[in-house]
A and B are shown apart, each in its own frame.
Chain A
């Protein structure tokens, strides 16, 4: 089979999963009206599949900051942080992130994907070990592959399994980077951080926590799971993204370890790419201030999440293990998931469809992401639609 025939085979498998109807992947959004509404085709659609957790995508403070940055600094930096792309805004944002997390330092990356790629591949290398949760995001897997370290998975959120794997490593556990996530994107559940920290201390390992989905969502000031559990000082490295609660694009790593700054000289995903645009940096700085002072937004977000999660559970849908902004409905097969996804879209609700092999355990997911800008009426409409579709889809 040649290179192009391999792609034909993959395309045939995809078509077999999604034989008819509107493609669920890469659906064209024609117009965006607000953090919760858009036009798809000719329909006005309720957006319930974005990562816009605090609903800040149209925040006037962020838009104004972005406009001003374009006017004063131009549209792009045209270079790497290591060369001509190291503007005062990048350095200011790093200082603000470090101060936000009360950490020694921060490195800003061009995307959240690159934050994991660059941090992981800078921290570990051949001969070291990456011990990662089985449900880790692709950026974590790819960062580990790029590093050349041995990659070992532990069963999702299973601390007995994590300890077993640490024990088997023997002396190598001190050269091991354990990687977990604040909130997991598939099922919306949180890592058992206190237990992970106990194990990393027992085995002299290092811990990286990815707060991509938990930034803005958990903790008094929105730092994430480490703040919520009051364990921030015990986590060695925290990574995250601008592209969810902060409504931009970019990523970061914060740490109290002075060695973090050395990553700037060894991390290819940091060095060999253009730095974030001035508008992105300016909007993100404004968004970070809103996140930090966003306790009312977090309260609304959690009310919405609880309302949807409780309703789906009551109706009889199988949902993720705990309530949160990511509310996953777990279906037995792709046909059920596609029928539910289509049914929701016909009722003007957009959610995410996740099919094997992307979904855990061979299941399929219809994943909702609620945000603080959703009104109680909007969530009620979603609940009613899920109720209406239940009998015809779940036999």
Chain B
């Protein structure tokens, strides 16, 4: 995958979440993954596996403890991608 900016990752993540959750809720950077998108622990594990493949990275489960919003997740993906260069 070509190099991506933080905003491009955020945009792509919003698209992926829309198809993954199949929700009517408008997904914005500040959308809460758990309270607004109703992503429970098992769905989150499956989502992470999909995102790992989409972005060709590994996202450790223990790195998710501080992730609440879509923006938090995008920032984490950006950081992991940057660190892996």
Give me the interface of A with B, judged by CB distance under 8 Å. Answer: 129, 134, 145, 148-153, 155, 164-165, 168-170, 356-357, 362
Contacting A145 at CB < 8 Å: which of B45, B53, B62? B62
- Chain B 6-59 residues near chain A, CB threshold 8 A: 40-42, 45, 48-49, 52-53, 56-59
**With a CB–CB cut-off of 8 A, which chain A residues contact B57?**
168
Q: How far is the CA of A129 from the CA of B58 in the complex (A)?
A: 11
B2 within 8 A of A: no
**With a CB–CB cut-off of 8 A, which chain B residues contact A165?**
52, 58
Q: How far is the CA of A165 from the CA of B48 in the complex (A)?
A: 13
Q: How far is the CA of A357 from the CA of B59 in the complex (A)?
A: 21
B1 within 8 A of A: no
B60–A155 touching, CB < 8 Å:
no
Give me the interface of B with A, judged by CB distance under 8 Å. Answer: 40-42, 45, 48-49, 52-53, 56-63, 84
Q: How far is the CA of A168 from the CA of B40 in the complex (A)?
A: 27
**With a CB–CB cut-off of 8 A, which chain B residues contact A357?**
40-42
Q: How far is the CA of A152 from the CA of B63 in the complex (A)?
A: 10
Contacting B58 at CB < 8 Å: which of A149, A168, A356? A168
Least CB distance from B1 to A in Å reads: 12
A152–B40 touching, CB < 8 Å:
no
Ordered by A's residue number, 24 sampled pairs between the chains whose C-beta atoms are within 8 Å are A129-B60, A134-B45, A134-B49, A149-B62, A150-B60, A150-B62, A150-B63, A151-B61, A152-B60, A152-B61, A153-B45, A153-B48, A153-B49, A155-B49, A168-B52, A168-B57, A168-B58, A168-B84, A169-B58, A170-B84, A356-B42, A357-B40, A357-B42, A362-B42
**With a CB–CB cut-off of 8 A, which chain B residues contact A155?**
49
Query: With A145-B62, A151-B62, A153-B61 in contact, is A168–B41 under 8 Å at CB?
Result: no
Q: How far is the CA of A81 from the CA of B52 in the complex (A)?
A: 43
Least CB distance from A157 to B in Å reads: 14
Q: How far is the CA of A151 from the CA of B45 in the complex (A)?
A: 11
Least CB distance from A362 to B in Å reads: 7
Least CB distance from B27 to A in Å reads: 21
**With a CB–CB cut-off of 8 A, which chain B residues contact A148?**
62
